Amino acid sequence: MGRLVPDAATAPATAWQLTTVERVTVETYRAKTFTLRLAEPRPFRAGQHYDVRLTAPDGYQAQRSYSVASAPDDCARIDLTVELIPDGEVSPYFHEMVEPGDVLEVRGPIGGPFTWTPDLAGPLLLLAGGSGIVPLKSILMHRDLAAPDTPALLLYSARGPEDIIYRKFLDGAGRRNSCVAVRCALTRRQPPGWIGYSRRVDAVMVRECIDELMTMHGSDAVPLAYACGPTGFVETAADALLSVGVAESAIRTERFGPTQ
């Protein structure tokens, strides 16, 4: 695909807006964060996403959804983190072509059930597979600012240490607040001395995380669970949650793509 440019003339004025790329941050060898300055800031909830629409000079358009990684406390600037799918259409464009100063066409915020607001309280059990960490980071950041006493445990499944997105933020999360814990499952490659999980997420792991969350919380309150990532990850995580007794009504899911 050639270089794509926003086509404001054909965009529905009510929904789409032009946004300027302010910064590009390399997160991992296949994840970059794009900080966008919105011309029309709109309040959003942690967990929501934006649609991005690219238009080629010949009019061909491609549209994809990307979750907001930043906290809703600043709705004028949003972070979108895009994981590179090598044979994909839109994510390689982001990785190879999009630079600070570029203008992109976006629509949002979008999304209802997969959101968290402080009134929903917790404790929160956040299950992320790969780039599924993106909206959960927004939830964690919002929790830090708006409800720091809400206990939260993030279980993050990644292939290897070099695939961990937001490493610095996650390393500091537990240190910043004793109500937050981060557990990692590295499914394919583990560094020497690795003491985290070394397998895919399963019911035993989820049970252990719930037990840890209950100990942190000092009660047996059933957590509110959010699972996000590739379809296969989300289905496994949801089944595991149900099998250890979390009610369906307490489980929220967001699927990013096909089975891993």
Residue 232 within binding range of ligand FAD, rule CB under 6 A: no
> Shortest Cβ distance from residue 218 to ligand FAD (Å)?
34
Give the one residue of 19, 70, 81, 253 binding ligand FAD; rule: CB under 6 A. Answer: 81
Residue 250 in the binding site for ligand FAD (CB under 6 A): no
Give the integer Cα–Cα distance in Å for 14 and 162: 41
Q: Does 82 bind ligand FAD (CB under 6 A)?
A: yes
Residue type, 106: V
- The 39-68 site mask, x for binding ligand FAD (CB under 6 A), equals ----------x--------------xxxx-
Q: Which of 53, 51, 54 is nearest to 65 (CA)?
A: 51
Shortest Å distance, C-beta 214 to ligand FAD: 30
Q: Indicate the residue whose CB is closest to ligand FAD.
A: 88
Minimum distance between the CB of residue 259 and ligand FAD, rounded to whole angstroms? 8
Query: Which residue in 69, 74, 78 sits closest to 38, CA to CA?
Result: 78
List 73, 89, 162, 239, residue binding ligand FAD (CB under 6 A): 89
**Cβ atoms < 10 Å from Cβ of 21:** 18
Q: Which of 5, 24, 88, 169 binds ligand FAD (CB under 6 A)?
A: 88
Nearest CB to ligand FAD, comparing residues 177 and 260: 260
Per-residue DSSP letter, 87: T
Strands 124-129 and 152-158: parallel
Exposure string for 193-226, b = 16+ CB within 10 A, e = fewer: eeeebeebbeeebbeebbebbbebbeeeeebbbb
91 contacts 83 by C-beta, under 8 angstroms: yes
Interface positions with ligand FAD (CB under 6 A): 49, 64-67, 81-83, 85, 87-91, 131, 134, 230, 254, 256-258
